[in-house]
Structure 1
Amino acid sequence: MRGTFCLVLHSHLPWVAHHGRWPVGEEWLYQAWAQAYLPLLDVLRRLAAEGRRDLLTLGVTPVLAAQLDDPHCLRGVHTWLATWQLRAHEAAPRLPDLAAYEHRRAAAALTEFETHWQHGGSPVFRSLEGVVELLGGPATHPFGPLLDPRVRGFALEAGLSDARWRTGAPPAGIWAPECGFAPGMEQEYAAAGVTHFLVDGPALHGGTGFARPVGTSDVVCVGRDLEVTYRVWSPRKGYPGHRDHRDFHTYDHASGLKPARVTGPDVPPHEKAPYSPARAAAQVERDAADFVATVGARLDALRAKHGRPALTVAAFDTELFGHWWHEGPAWLEAVLRALPEAGVRVTTVRGALADPGLIGEPVDLPPSSWGSGKDWRVWAGAAVTDLVELNARVQDALLTAVGKGRSFARDPLLDALAEQALLALSSDWAFMVTTGSTVDYARERAHRHADRAFALAHLLDEGRREEAAALVAGWEPAPFGHVDARRLRV
């Protein structure tokens, strides 16, 4: 055996249910669901039917898991899939080849959804026990290092509880939001029952060839190997940018379909060549072969350096596979088939950690993330100082209200306050602002949830519970019906 390879995928979208359609809101969810989650799980199911096990590690954030189970979202995506097929039919007179291709894709997606997904995502994930390892994380995806430790622990406990409720067992491993880490968080993970988590390679100064215990704890981190990961997708290059792959950004605006291949990085949309599935399929084979060779060479080099088989971990957003990169699921299937034939052991992170030979020396991790600069600037930089201050006020309001209102019985109004506070603390809002993506939407969402938390906290402080109940009744359903504010230690 040349070494061990782990593929880790991180599935996440902010809480967008009941928050509008195009260009943001539920349209994000439905596109990712149709173009990434459905085909990815179809690939894994077919490989599992061949007897393959321990194929990859899949992080599903609690807020996304809630949406994949939400009746409103299930109805919405079903309608979206049917509309996708209708859009293909409408495009047929102008774009017959593209329309036929999209008709087949939409029909397959409808069949996949109606066969496996009508009762939500949780049964789908449970059915793949032994094929994938599921990772969890804190509820609503907050950037942990910037939170009060009490709120951070509460968010993690709520997220792990949510996973237990949906899949039957809390995950042992997590992909912390944005791979955010501050020294000491490993002790909090240990107290919560977390045994392993992912960090970005620079946090280990590139020493990603082995899993590493963190500090004096028994909690282990695995590092994303950027040398391998960036072969697929990096800030500047990667397989999806090849001229024969489908162009993500070019639309036929009358139908919403994507008719072009990349063609070239500087080719304007109206000059791009038509998409050819046959050309793309041939390029997928070349890309898969290149990746297998890259992984093999990396593991060979690590083995020569350390004198024993080592580990390499490639980690990506799940939405890359099918949504941003149309050919991603086909590439993934080709790679998972070819790596064992090349002498590489493919397993989950959990499977890798069962091998003592893949555990290295303890490490003291620095403050880090997987964002720009590999530090905290995306979530705490100059562009978002107002959101950092807002988050501090939200946490203070939550801690104060729970401290004053704590009782032995659950209080649904305090639970609602906790949910709105956690939604306000999502890392997505600062990320969108810093990166310049849907800035107004992100600020509006952050302030909407924060203002709800402030208003509810004020009514509870004044003992106006009937008004507080009426206020909560006017809100759209929140993602978690089982957040228990009594679990917040104040």
Structure 2
Amino acid sequence: MTTEGTFCLVLHSHLPWLPHHGSWPVGEEWLYQAWAHSYLPVVDLLRRFADEGRRDVLTLGVTPVLAAQLDDPYSLRTFHEWLGHWQLRALQASTLWRDDPLLRELGAAEHRAAVHATEELETRWRHGFSPILRSLVDSSTIELLGGPLTHPFQPLLHERIRSFALRSGLDDTRLRIGHRPEGIWAPECGYAPGMEDGYAAAGVKRFLVDGPSLRGDTAGARTVGSSDVVCFGRDLEVTYRVWSPKSGYPGHAHYRDFHTWAHEVGVKPSRVTGHHVAPEHKAPYDPALAADAVRQHVKDFVDTVVTRLRQLRERDGREALVVAAYDTELFGHWWHEGPAWLEGVLRALPEAGVRVTTLRGAVEAGHVRGPVDLPASSWGSGKDWRVWDGEQVADMVEANAALQRRMLALRPGAVRDPVLDLAVGEAMLALSSDWAFMVTKDSAADYARRRARVHTDRFDALVAGRGPLPLEDRVFGHLDARLLTRE
């Protein structure tokens, strides 16, 4: 069957380890909001596709550290409590806004959403995320991408620690869902020349880079260097239609405003209205207007993809590939209407003659082109490493390099040492790329610096034989410090 071309949607699901490290405004609240407003609705729509027998709907990246949180008994219990508070806040909003029809209905809708989320957690999610994720992988509804344990910025890791983090991360996913991923979302799309050799040694066959790493030529996957490892580049012309550093659909006047809160009930009552409208002057959220905007943006995106595929086919004389990639948390958490838009697009693209598949499916469809030598790169500001090794975080880079030297100096014995395992786990938490990102972007920078320092100090205390043991951060029970010396 002739098609317009191939489209791959890739979603990257990640949060740093948050349980037991504060709640508001940064900490566990961040996890619960993303869980309620993104992970639950995205899983809902994937399950609908699975029930319809749809295969290869999208490629879903789930970092090991996020998977650990969504399986963690403490997180499951405290999220349940959070959902109960959400129901109460929604009831209070309905009472407070009883004289305004739009706001009263918003409160009622918020309560229905909270009740539904609670029912999902008490039934399908009661044993955590992994059983759900495994069913989606087993049915081939999705392709799953894994990654290094705690989402470290790999180019700044010593090669031995980089290998340890990646292999241990892939092993963690295999333990949780019974499959070892063949593809990864490289944290922050960070790449340094030669990393493909480490990927090949770990059994990784494909990974993501940002479009500029391929000088914008993202119409096909490329083998990297002399390896058989394949990289896919984000097509920014299409991806940025939805979300870019400066614009995108979520900023439309009719969508729910992310930043405006009715703090007395903890509910977001407004639509965007206008970019220069003060919060107190924003219009109340109207679901009917938002639904109209979703339909317009589904059509616009489908038209954008089809036009792009046709342009690339005319240029190259062959069927082309478009890869659009986003953080999963955009859909529902940052952009309230995102899940509805996502489902609309995934249903409309095949109707427009576009093959929708996964990265694995794109390889099988013949979208692999010749080899490429990639530059040092990322998907961050400047498309280089400045977010994670720039002047603002120079002290953190130095501290992380010193921490890695102390890790490499460890000499585990022949038998597993639980204390040393915990120490290495703390070191990996300290090396999370999130902390430097948050400092560079001035997003809860004090929290990020504190988290990096806490985990580094715990590593040193454990290695020195000082307690107490930080059992609340035993994120990866399988982590074996002895493997650090065997890589």
TM-score (norm 2): 0.96
Pick the aligned partner of 1:103 from 86, 111, 114: 111
For 2:481 and 2:349, the matched residues in 1 are separated by: 47
Aligned: 1:417 with 2:427: no
For 2:184 and 2:247, the matched residues in 1 are separated by: 28
Q: Which amino acid aligns with 1:125?
A: L
Counterparts of residues 227-246 of structure 1 (less than 5 Å): 227-246=237-256
- Secondary structure of the residue that 1:111 maps to in structure 2? helix
For 1:104 and 1:412, the matched residues in 2 are separated by: 45
Aligned: 1:170 with 2:167: no
For 2:414 and 2:211, the matched residues in 1 are separated by: 45
For 1:128 and 1:456, the matched residues in 2 are separated by: 39
Aligned: 1:471 with 2:479: no
For 2:266 and 2:406, the matched residues in 1 are separated by: 44
For 1:471 and 1:81, the matched residues in 2 are separated by: 32
Counterparts of residues 193-272 of structure 1 (less than 5 Å): 193-272=203-282
Describe the superposition over 1:340-398 as per-residue Cα deviations: whole angstroms up to 9, x where unpaired.
00000000111111122x11110000000000000000000000011001101111111
Pick the aligned partner of 1:292 from 288, 302, 327: 302
For 1:149 and 1:51, the matched residues in 2 are separated by: 42
For 1:417 and 1:423, the matched residues in 2 are separated by: 10
Does the 8 Å CA contact 1:57/1:349 hold for their aligned counterparts? yes
Counterparts of residues 352-371 of structure 1 (less than 5 Å): 352-356=362-366, 358-371=367-380
Does the 8 Å CA contact 1:398/1:417 hold for their aligned counterparts? no
- Secondary structure of the residue that 2:323 maps to in structure 1? strand
Unaligned runs of 5+ in 1: 460-467
**2:451 corresponds to:** 445
State how many pairs are aligned.
476
Pick the aligned partner of 1:16 from 15, 18, 35: 18
Aligned: 1:183 with 2:193: yes
Q: Which amino acid aligns with 1:64?
A: L
For 1:77 and 1:426, the matched residues in 2 are separated by: 23
- Secondary structure of the residue that 1:366 maps to in structure 2? coil
Aligned: 1:456 with 2:462: yes
**1:396 corresponds to:** 405
Q: Could you tell me how far 1:108 is from its partner in structure 2?
A: 1.7
**2:384 corresponds to:** 375
Describe the superposition over 1:396-422 as per-residue Cα deviations: whole angstroms up to 9, x where unpaired.
111112xx3x22211112111110110
Describe the superposition over 1:78-136 as per-residue Cα deviations: whole angstroms up to 9, x where unpaired.
11111111101111222222211111111221222222111000001011120011100
- Secondary structure of the residue that 1:297 maps to in structure 2? helix
Aligned: 1:435 with 2:445: no
Q: Which amino acid aligns with 1:38?
A: L
**2:170 corresponds to:** 160
Aligned: 1:79 with 2:81: yes
Describe the superposition over 1:312-355 as per-residue Cα deviations: whole angstroms up to 9, x where unpaired.
00000000000000000000010010000000000011111112
For 2:119 and 2:454, the matched residues in 1 are separated by: 37
Q: Could you tell me how far 1:306 is from its partner in structure 2?
A: 1.1
Q: Which amino acid aligns with 1:381?
A: G
Q: Which amino acid aligns with 2:134?
A: R
Does the 8 Å CA contact 2:426/2:473 hold for their aligned counterparts? no
For 2:141 and 2:471, the matched residues in 1 are separated by: 39
Q: Which amino acid aligns with 1:92?
A: S
For 1:67 and 1:341, the matched residues in 2 are separated by: 37
Counterparts of residues 15-94 of structure 1 (less than 5 Å): 15-94=17-96
**1:463 corresponds to:** none
- Secondary structure of the residue that 1:251 maps to in structure 2? coil
Does the 8 Å CA contact 1:397/1:457 hold for their aligned counterparts? no
Q: Which amino acid aligns with 2:298?
A: A
Pick the aligned partner of 1:117 from 92, 100, 125: 125
Does the 8 Å CA contact 1:42/1:112 hold for their aligned counterparts? no
For 2:79 and 2:387, the matched residues in 1 are separated by: 31
**1:6 corresponds to:** 8
Q: Which amino acid aligns with 2:476?
A: F
For 2:123 and 2:363, the matched residues in 1 are separated by: 35
Q: Which amino acid aligns with 1:160?
A: L
Q: Share of identical aligned residues, percent?
A: 64
Q: Which amino acid aligns with 2:394?
A: T
Describe the superposition over 1:143-202 as per-residue Cα deviations: whole angstroms up to 9, x where unpaired.
000011011110001100100100101100000110000001000000000000000000
Does the 8 Å CA contact 1:176/1:197 hold for their aligned counterparts? yes
For 2:28 and 2:69, the matched residues in 1 are separated by: 10
Q: Could you tell me how far 1:292 is from its partner in structure 2?
A: 0.3
Name which of structure 1's ranges 71-80 and 194-203 shifts more when overlaid on structure 2. 71-80
- Secondary structure of the residue that 1:313 maps to in structure 2? strand
Aligned: 1:192 with 2:198: no
Does the 8 Å CA contact 2:255/2:337 hold for their aligned counterparts? yes
Name which of structure 1's ranges 253-262 and 75-84 shifts more when overlaid on structure 2. 75-84
Counterparts of residues 122-133 of structure 1 (less than 5 Å): 122-129=130-137, 130-133=140-143
For 1:437 and 1:314, the matched residues in 2 are separated by: 26
**1:487 corresponds to:** 483
For 2:473 and 2:206, the matched residues in 1 are separated by: 32
For 1:334 and 1:97, the matched residues in 2 are separated by: 24
Q: Could you tell me how far 1:307 is from its partner in structure 2?
A: 0.9
For 1:192 and 1:267, the matched residues in 2 are separated by: 51
Does the 8 Å CA contact 1:398/1:457 hold for their aligned counterparts? no
For 1:111 and 1:421, the matched residues in 2 are separated by: 37
**2:286 corresponds to:** 276
Describe the superposition over 1:273-300 as per-residue Cα deviations: whole angstroms up to 9, x where unpaired.
0000111011100000000000000011
For 1:346 and 1:337, the matched residues in 2 are separated by: 9
**2:432 corresponds to:** 426
- Secondary structure of the residue that 1:345 maps to in structure 2? strand
For 2:55 and 2:176, the matched residues in 1 are separated by: 22
- Secondary structure of the residue that 2:372 maps to in structure 1? coil
Describe the superposition over 1:246-292 as per-residue Cα deviations: whole angstroms up to 9, x where unpaired.
00000000011000000011111000000001110111000000000
For 2:294 and 2:350, the matched residues in 1 are separated by: 18
For 1:361 and 1:371, the matched residues in 2 are separated by: 26
Q: Which amino acid aligns with 1:51?
A: G
- Secondary structure of the residue that 2:143 maps to in structure 1? strand
For 2:401 and 2:484, the matched residues in 1 are separated by: 16
Q: Could you tell me how far 1:308 is from its partner in structure 2?
A: 1.1
Q: Which amino acid aligns with 1:399?
A: L
Q: Could you tell me how far 1:52 is from its partner in structure 2?
A: 1.2
Q: Which amino acid aligns with 2:388?
A: W
